Amino acid sequence: MSGPLEGIRVLELSDGTTHYGGRLLAGLGADVVLAEPADGSPARAVGPFLDDIPGIDRSLAFWADNVGKRSLIVDEDADLLELLAAADVLLHSLRPADAQRRALSFAALSARFPELIVCALTPFGQDGPWADYLADDLVLMALGGSMAGCGYGPGADGLYDTAPLACQEDQAFRTAATYAAIAVLAAVAWRADPGRSDTGRGENQRGQFIDVSAHECSASMTEWHLMSYLCSGETYKRGPHPTLTGADGRQIAALTPDFLGPHVFTRMLEMLEADDVAGALSDPAFADPRHRAKNYGEVWRALKRLAQKHSAEELYRMGQKAGLPWGVIRSPEETLDDRHLAARGHFVALEHPELDRAVTYPGAPFLASGSPWVMERRPPLLGEHTAEVRSQWSAPR
């Protein structure tokens, strides 16, 4: 089975922050080759590890972001230049000074490879006062604003006694890697159309440079924090996530936002009255959103009475039937057993011959009738495809 990017060659040179973007391109059918040093990508040292036994080829974190790729060992930058002669895209995580020092700046590369698309994903982009600064995901989530909206709400006195919380796992870099993959897709399409890509630089100079700042990507994803301030001038305040605990002890996310429309309270009230737990909410005064806002404790007391009578799965179905955005908070093993995901074939088992076993991976993030997601290759062992890639990429295309 071939994907829509079949024939597109991507060389990935990264500290690990671009790996998810490379995975997306591989899933779309591109030949993504991970150029690694002799001791492997730093991501190979990140746990957890298979059976809790550390090893260069046992990192589950590495597996998750590198499924579908090939790996070759590159000892010198001169070897990279030979490979780039056959590549369509270079995806890297070099900060400006590092790229310049290694003669891998876009100016140097485009002079030799005018059709090469170069995408650099760095913490702060290629220019500006922080261009050569280092940053981890925690710093980027803090600077981008997302962390300001994550964590526990204030106490009864309106003051916070806890610090903001970080999102789990590299959300800033994974978001940036997703945007990088989208930008690469656009660049590939732009390059393929001579009419649109002729900008006066010459008919063969259709490559381009894509500058992805993880800092900017983090700022762009702050739905409540930044946009609320831009639109209203008011600072978004952290608060507890609305959850209900069912009779079986499991929780559901039980959002009841009035901004979705007048049906929210009306249908919720019908659901509560059907179970005889509406209490004060049956008072006609609660039909007024302003009255509800002043007495929202009554809403949650009624919902908690409902939750005491039903399991989390039952509550989920009841809320969905009432048109409410409710969902069970599933554990990983419950997600694997999700019948809807199973019906759509989301999870894919790939054979690991070196382990004599198959490993299950999350599959396609979408289904496309004409340009399918490709998932046939397990994550690569370190340097596994060195000879194969050198042979294939050195031959005329």
Sign of CA dihedral 250, 222, 28, 56: negative
pLDDT value of residue 199: 56
Report the pLDDT value the prediction gives residue 396, as an integer from 0 to 100.
59
Name which of 290, 357, 22 is nearest 180 in CA terms: 22
Domain range list for the chain: 9-229+346-394, 251-328
pLDDT attached to residue 152: 81
What local confidence, expressed as pLDDT, does residue 88 receive? Answer: 97
For β-strands 31-36 and 70-73, DSSP reports them as parallel
pLDDT at 148: 81
**pLDDT value, residue 1:** 66
Q: What value does the mean pLDDT of the chain take?
A: 91
pLDDT of amino acid 268: 94
Distance CA 203, CA 114 (A): 10
Q: Which CATH number does 9-229+346-394 carry?
A: 3.40.50.10540
Q: What residue ranges of the chain have pLDDT lower than 70? A: 1, 196-204, 223-224, 395-397
pTM of the model: 0.90
- The single residue listed with the structure tokens 């057993």 is 337
pLDDT given at position 270: 95
pLDDT for 5: 97
pLDDT tens column, 103-125: 999 999 999 999 999 999 999 99
